[in-house]
């Protein structure tokens, strides 16, 4: 077993995304939007290693997309500001989950030991989603979202919020 662990460690960061693993030290250096971040880590002894991370279980409103010229979605700036206040320039725990179709690292993010996806859902910062965790349904996330909806927190205080997965498909948003 020791040899298997050593082999996995020697494969480097990319080879370890098949199972959940924790990076003990990560520092959020940039917000892409409310659910995607750039994290600097000491993984593998390289102090300059950065990864683009997509938090699992939550889909937040879309920021303006320069390559696609897509307009920012309603509540996207508020959502990004909320998450930024929690994690930007702060140390976080990162549990790797896999990669998505944009080659972002999918991960659970913890701030002070609390899962960021739970904080976001409970505060109405996004929709509970299984899109980035295929086959893994997170029932507690749905309960947190339902509570935020009931209390009209965050985007649930807006009239008819549109899910990001629907928003991304609408041509009028370009």
How far apart CA 45 and CA 97 sit, in angstroms, is 21
Average pLDDT of the segment spanning 5-11: 31
Is 60 exceeded by the pLDDT of residue 2?
A: no
Sequence ranges of the domains in the chain:
17-173
Q: Output the pLDDT for position 6.
A: 29
Instruction: Say what the pLDDT of residue 97 is.
Output: 84
Q: Is 28 a residue whose pLDDT tops 80?
A: yes
Question: Which of 94, 82, 81, 105 has the alpha carbon at shortest distance from 27?
Answer: 94
pLDDT one-digit tens code per residue, 30-80: 999 999 999 998 665 566 688 899 999 999 999 987 566 678 899 999 999
CA pair distance 152, 138, nearest whole angstrom? 21
Question: Is a pLDDT exceeding 60 seen at residue 4?
Answer: no
Determine the Cα angle at 151 with ends 148 and 155, to 5°. 55
Which CATH code for domain 17-173?
2.40.50.90
Q: Is residue 149 predicted with pLDDT exceeding 60? A: yes
Question: Residue 102's pLDDT is what?
Answer: 78
Q: What is the pLDDT of residues 92-146, one digit of tens each?
A: 999 888 888 878 889 999 999 999 999 999 999 999 997 766 566 788 999 999 9
For 51, 64, 70, 130, 131, the CA distances from 135, given in Å and listed in that order, are 24, 30, 30, 8, 9
pTM comes to 0.81
């Amino acid at each position: 077993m020791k040899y298997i662990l050593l082999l996995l460690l020697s494969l480097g960061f990319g080879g370890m995304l098949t199972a959940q693993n924790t990076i003990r030290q990560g520092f959020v250096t940039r917000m892409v939007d409310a659910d995607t971040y750039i994290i600097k880590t000491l993984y593998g002894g390289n102090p300059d290693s950065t990864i683009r991370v997509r938090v699992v279980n939550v889909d937040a409103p879309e920021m303006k997309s320069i390559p696609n010229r897509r307009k920012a979605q309603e509540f996207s700036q508020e959502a990004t500001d909320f998450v930024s206040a929690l994690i930007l320039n702060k140390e976080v725990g990162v549990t790797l989950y896999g990669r998505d179709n944009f080659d972002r690292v999918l991960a659970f993010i913890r701030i002070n030991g609390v899962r960021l996806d739970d904080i976001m859902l409970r505060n109405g910062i996004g929709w509970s989603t299984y899109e980035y965790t295929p086959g893994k349904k997170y029932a507690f996330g749905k309960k947190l979202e339902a509570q935020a909806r009931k209390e009209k927190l965050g985007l649930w205080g807006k009239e008819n919020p549109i899910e990001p997965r629907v928003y991304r498909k609408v041509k009028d948003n370009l």
